[in-house]
């Protein structure tokens, strides 16, 4: 807090003078916008992203569900929490999180609560990820077929404190996992 003011991100209604679709992708697009800003104009290219939802699923022993899958841009099989795009019309972020937990880990949860929402890379894309804490886990009624990067997903359960330690040791660097396990740890502590 600065003085009596609570600091928060502020919306800016900058006039977009011109917007070009530079590249139309299968999942997201690249745009180039000319924006009136201050006394001039700026041009910015960015990834136009549909957003995503992610799940920090904790079992009765406070172990977090981690999945590992191949991510081509970083050439790693990184550790993540279940997550997916907000790409189904009419589906809320919570419904997306529920769907992704079932699709990626064949699990459902009896309790859900919002953890935090984050902009992943605000200088390069408009993606927002909504993270949820899921508890009361049980097997889904159906096992989901997986393809592409999801075909060889590896699932592990790790004590939440160990996942936090792995983040600080630099062994797990996925931003959504990092945000999720730190937020869940704080939620449980508080």
4 — pLDDT class (breaks 50, 70, 90): confident
Tens digits of per-residue pLDDT, 135-182? 999 999 877 665 666 667 899 999 999 999 999 999 999 999 999 999
The answer as to whether 76 is a domain residue is yes
Same domain, 152 and 92: yes
Tens digits of per-residue pLDDT, 86-135? 999 999 999 999 999 999 999 999 999 999 999 999 999 999 999 999 99
Same domain, 44 and 137: no
Same domain, 64 and 134: yes
The answer as to whether 2 is a domain residue is no
Q: What is the 3-state secondary structure (H, E, C) of 63-119?
A: EEEEEEEEEHHHCEEEEECCEEECCCCCCCHHHHHHHHHHHHHCEEEEEEEEEEEEE
Q: Does the active-site annotation cover 10?
A: no
The answer as to whether 78 is a domain residue is yes
45 φ/ψ sector (left φ>0, alpha ψ -120 to 50, else beta) = beta
Residue 90 is part of a domain; what is its CATH number?
3.90.79.10
Catalytic residue among 104, 113, 150, 186: 150
Same domain, 101 and 166: yes
- pLDDT higher than threshold 80 for residue 70: yes
Q: Which range of residues forms the domain containing residue 29? A: 16-48
Tens digits of per-residue pLDDT, 19-51? 999 999 988 999 999 999 999 999 999 999 999
The answer as to whether 39 is a domain residue is yes
Q: Are 94 and 36 within 8 A, CB to CB?
A: no
């Amino acid at each position: 807090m600065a003085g009596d003011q609570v600091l928060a991100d502020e919306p800016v209604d900058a006039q977009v003078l011109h917007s070009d679709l530079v590249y139309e992708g299968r999942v997201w697009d690249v745009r180039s916008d000319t924006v009136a800003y201050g006394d001039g104009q700026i041009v910015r290219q960015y990834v136009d992203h549909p957003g995503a939802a992610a799940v920090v699923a904790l079992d009765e022993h406070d172990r977090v569900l981690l999945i590992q899958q191949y991510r081509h841009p970083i050439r790693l099989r990184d550790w993540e929490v279940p997550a997916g795009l907000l790409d189904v019309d009419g589906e809320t972020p919570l419904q997306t999180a529920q769907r992704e937990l079932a699709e990626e880990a064949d699990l459902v949860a009896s309790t859900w609560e919002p953890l935090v929402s984050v902009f992943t890379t605000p200088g390069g894309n408009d993606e927002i990820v909504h993270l949820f804490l899921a508890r009361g886990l049980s097997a889904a009624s159906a096992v989901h077929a997986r393809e592409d990067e999801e075909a060889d997903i590896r699932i592990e359960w790790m004590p939440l404190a160990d996942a936090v330690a792995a983040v600080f040791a630099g062994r797990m660097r996925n931003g959504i996992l990092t945000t999720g396990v730190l937020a869940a740890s704080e939620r449980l502590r508080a």
